[in-house]
Amino acid sequence: MKTVKTIGELKLYLRAQRAKGHTVGFVPTMGALHKGHMDLMRIAREQNDVVVVSIFVNPTQFNNPNDLRNYPRTLEQDLSKCEHVKVDIVFTPSIEEVYPETDTRKFDFGILDQVMEGKHRPGHFNGVAQVVSRLFDAVEPDRAYFGQKDYQQLAIIRKLVQILSLDIEIVACPTVREDDGLAMSSRNMLLTPEQRNSAPLISETLFAAQNKKSQMNVNQMKSWVIDQINSNPLLNVEYFEIADAQTLEAIGQWSDAPIAVGCIAVQVGEVRLIDNILF
């Protein structure tokens, strides 16, 4: 496994691989790798000749400076995990390498970045688009891999590829969960033991909601999910929205969308967790 810090080194390596006719799969990450990330890498490994992983904590997608400061950084362990999955090359750039000058680009995603995460974290998805577009330019992958836990982000990335007319296949991979159902997240390691014991109520409630769809209308479902989770004093729902799974437009009744997605953000002390479920 090779580790590089500059775009020049990365392009040189990948140019040689493409000259051999090799396909390139890319897994962009912010580090603090867990089993969910490793599943993305394994799928990329199965589908491509060369697998690239980036580890870069992107400052432009954090609107809360504390969140950026507290984001877990575990580079040595991350590199070991990449090696275990037989990644070919890991790109670990500095902020200056990714942003040699301030990125002032503004992307228009329509409603996709005005709801849910976009509404509660203004500018977040523009920051995601800035860094992912720069990484795509550096790697020029045939395929890029993203987890469905970040459902709205996945929609944004697909739209970004369309806006920039990039010839990249975006591969969505299922949410990976802990044994107790909690969606795997780098932020889970920041939870206290008591918070960690409470957090599985989020997924438990979402799975129960899925089974109760025929018993409740959309508004009743939203209220029920929020009340269930907020019944635990350590959990505080920031939002729970039910939207068209394709357009992310909020729905008023189940018949408004062939498939609906329920997206949630929950504050657990200082840690913010997200999850989603399809209806």
What CATH number is attached to the domain comprising 206?
3.30.1300.10
**Per-residue confidence (pLDDT) for residue 65, from 0 to 100:** 86
Q: Across residues 69-98, what is the average pLDDT?
A: 95
Which residues have a catalytic role annotated?
Answer: 37
| 252 domain-assigned | yes
Task: Indicate whether 105 and 131 sit together in one domain.
Answer: yes
**Per-residue confidence (pLDDT) for residue 36, from 0 to 100:** 95
| 179 domain-assigned | no
| Structural tokens at position 110 | 């329509």
Q: Across residues 213-232, what is the average pLDDT?
A: 98
Task: Indicate whether 59 and 88 sit together in one domain.
Answer: yes
Q: Across residues 170-189, what is the average pLDDT?
A: 96
**Per-residue confidence (pLDDT) for residue 69, from 0 to 100:** 87
- pTM here is 0.94
If we measure between CA atoms, which residue out of 35, 16, 37, 18 comes closest to residue 27? Answer: 37
Q: Distance between CA 235 and CA 223 in Å, rounded?
A: 15
Task: Indicate whether 126 and 93 sit together in one domain.
Answer: yes
**Per-residue confidence (pLDDT) for residue 255, from 0 to 100:** 97
Kindly report the backbone phi and psi dihedral angles of residue 84, in degrees, each rounded to the nearest multiple of 5, phi listed first: -60, -35
Task: Indicate whether 223 and 159 sit together in one domain.
Answer: no
Q: Distance between CA 132 and CA 28 in Å, rounded?
A: 8
Task: Indicate whether 66 and 160 sit together in one domain.
Answer: yes
Question: Of 173, 207, 241, at which residue does a domain stop?
Answer: 173
**Per-residue confidence (pLDDT) for residue 143, from 0 to 100:** 98
Question: Of 148, 173, 198, at which residue does a domain stop?
Answer: 173
Range of the domain at 248: 186-278
Question: Of 173, 195, 214, at which residue does a domain stop?
Answer: 173
Q: Distance between CA 212 and CA 262 in Å, rounded?
A: 13
Task: Indicate whether 144 and 196 sit together in one domain.
Answer: no
Confidence band, pLDDT 50/70/90 cuts, at residue 176: very high
**Per-residue confidence (pLDDT) for residue 70, from 0 to 100:** 83
* Location of structure tokens 């609107």: 63
Q: Does residue 159 contact residue 112 with C-beta atoms inside 8 Å?
A: yes
Query: C-alpha dihedral over 156, 29, 207, 171, to 10 degrees?
Result: 60
Helix pair angle (75-84, 35-47), 10° resolution: 40
> Which CATH number is 47's domain given?
3.40.50.620
Task: Indicate whether 61 and 166 sit together in one domain.
Answer: yes
| 181 domain-assigned | no
Each residue's pLDDT tens digit, 128-148: 999 999 999 999 999 999 999
Task: Indicate whether 165 and 65 sit together in one domain.
Answer: yes
